[in-house]
Chains A and B, each alone.
Chain A
Amino acid sequence: MAMATDVLRLPSRERALTELDDIEYLVQTHRARLLRFVTFSLGDEDLAASIVQDCFVKAWTNRHNFRGDCSVQTWLHSIALNLVRDYQRTQKFRFWKQVRKTATDVTEVAGMLPSAASSPEAQLLARERAREVAEILQTLSLNQRTAFVLRFQEEMDLSDIATTMGMPINTVKTHLHRAVRTVRTRMGGRR
């Protein structure tokens, strides 16, 4: 990818703006992670795909407002999270959440673990563990789940999570620690 090497030579904001200008590069680079993040946030893959699409349109349209004080990935996640929050406030979402309670099961992702690397027992255990965490995540509040996913899946630091969620770092820490406590308790580890 020639674009990637050229972009790396530019200062950070210019580099980010160049990245944001090229919508195709932007989509190809970030769509998988954004789709995962939004699917975990909403529990609905179709809706998540639609929101990620909107997220790219919004990012491209407002790219000149990007100040360069965070990474493009953080900025995209904050746009996606705002869209998720907007959507969760609508009546339509509440209605569909009730109607489609079993429509998307994010615990299905556990089935994507590699099958050749370890013994069948180990694979089964790994799938079971991943499914269990995915299930627990669905019981958390949106803020707790978002903090957990951004920290341990997207591997962001706390300041980036705070930027994405639009909250002070201490509030993010509170959501994160509550999420960890729930996961520990439900996984049987916390005494």
Chain B
Amino acid sequence: MNCKHLSDEQIAELLAGRNSDDGAVLHVERCEACRNELAGLGAAVGDLNFASLRWAEQRASRIEVPSAWTLNWNALPGWGATVAAVLIFGVALGAHMQTVNRIEPALQPAHTVAAPSPDELAQDNQLMRSIDNELSEQVGGQVLASDMDTSSHATHHRLVNEVSN
């Protein structure tokens, strides 16, 4: 048969069950090759549809109804979710810091130096002043090293003379 066979567009329409193109329908009635091709494609697509739907119905049970929590969380607007996240983070951080503060005193050393009272400070200052005075008096009455050397030399000479005599 010398004729123009079905185009992709016509095959697509006929496969989808649309018979609006009378020319295409007429051609299928006359042309065995196109009729066979259409029947083959139709059967293949139909088989795949049937099998894939059965397959999907078996597997679909794994898709559960989303929980109320999931739905509500996703229903929050963008800024709402951000605020909620910041709040949750803040609360968690606060709880963490409280725990750390509660633990820290136990980690501190048992012996700590208490701050001195004003009386103790006054006593200390007085003690320091008296020490200063003592020291300055001692320095004032101390013999200079050079003097000491001279006197020791003189004493040495005197002793030598006495022995030699």
B55–A109 contact, CB under 8 A? yes
Determine the chain A residues whose CB is within 8 A of the CB of B55 once the complex forms: 36, 108-109, 112
Determine the chain B residues whose CB is within 8 A of the CB of A108 once the complex forms: 55
- Assembly CA distance A109 to B53 (angstroms): 9
| B44 to chain A: closest residue by CB | A129
B-contact 0/1 string along A52-77, CB 8 Å cutoff: 11001110110000000000000000
B133 to chain A, nearest CB (A): 83
Most buried by A among B43, B54, B66: B66
- B70 contacts partner chain A, Cβ-Cβ < 8 Å: yes
Determine the chain B residues whose CB is within 8 A of the CB of A110 once the complex forms: 47-48, 51
Interface size on B, residues (CB 8 A): 37
The number of inter-chain residue pairs (CB within 8 angstroms) is 129
- A140 contacts partner chain B, Cβ-Cβ < 8 Å: no
B-contact 0/1 string along A128-172, CB 8 Å cutoff: 011011100000000000000001110100000000000000000
B11–A129 contact, CB under 8 A? no
B28 to chain A, nearest CB (A): 13
Determine the chain A residues whose CB is within 8 A of the CB of B45 once the complex forms: 133, 152
Interface residues on A, range: 35 or more
A153–B44 contact, CB under 8 A? no
| A176 to chain B: closest residue by CB | B12
- Assembly CA distance A108 to B40 (angstroms): 20
- B56 contacts partner chain A, Cβ-Cβ < 8 Å: yes
Determine the chain B residues whose CB is within 8 A of the CB of A132 once the complex forms: 44
Determine the chain A residues whose CB is within 8 A of the CB of B53 once the complex forms: 32-33, 36, 153
A130–B44 contact, CB under 8 A? yes
B37–A184 contact, CB under 8 A? yes
A113–B59 contact, CB under 8 A? no
Determine the chain B residues whose CB is within 8 A of the CB of A52 once the complex forms: 63
B12–A61 contact, CB under 8 A? no
The residue from B9, B41, B63 contacting A31, defined by CB atoms under 8 A apart: B63
A38 to chain B, nearest CB (A): 10
Known contacts A57-B70, A126-B47: does B40 contact A177 (CB below 8 Å)?
no
Q: What are 16 A-B contacts defined by CB distance under 8 Å? A: A32-B57, A32-B60, A36-B56, A49-B59, A53-B63, A57-B70, A106-B52, A109-B54, A110-B51, A113-B47, A114-B50, A127-B51, A129-B40, A134-B48, A187-B44, A190-B37
Identify the A interface with B (CB < 8 A): 23-24, 27-28, 31-33, 35-36, 39-40, 45, 49, 52-53, 56-58, 60-61, 106, 108-114, 126-127, 129-130, 132-134, 151-153, 155, 173, 176-178, 180-181, 183-184, 187, 189-191
If A111-B51, A152-B15 are given as contacts, then 13 extra A-B residue pairs at C-beta distance below 8 Å, sorted by A number, are A32-B53, A36-B55, A53-B66, A56-B66, A61-B71, A109-B48, A112-B52, A129-B40, A129-B47, A130-B47, A133-B45, A151-B16, A180-B15
